[in-house]
A and B are shown apart, each in its own frame.
Chain A
Amino acid sequence: QPVVTQPPSASGTPGQSVTISCSGSSSNIGPNYVYWYKQAPGTAPKLLIYRNDQRPSGVPDRFSGSKSGTSASLAISGLRSEDEADYFCAAWDDSLSGLVVFGGGTKLTVL
Chain B
Amino acid sequence: QVQLQESGPGLVKPSETLSLTCTVSGGSIRSNYWSWIRQSPGKGLEWIGKIFYSGSATYNPSLKSRVIISVDMFKNEFSLKLSSLTAADTAVYYCARDGILSTGWFDYWGRGTLVTVSS
Contact = CB atoms under 8 A, between A and B. Distances in A.
Interface of A: 1, 32-33, 35, 37, 43-47, 50-51, 56, 88, 90-92, 96-105
Q: Is the interface of B mostly helix, strand, loop or mixed?
A: loop
A44 B47 contact: no
Interface residues of B, number: 23
Contact of A103 (B44, B47, B60): B44
Interface of B: 35, 44-47, 58-62, 64, 94, 99, 102-107, 109-112
Contacts of A1: 61-62
B104 A88 contact: no
Contacts of A97: 58-59, 61, 64
Given A102-B44, A105-B44, A92 B102 contact: yes
Given A35-B104, A44-B94, A91-B104, A100 B110 contact: no
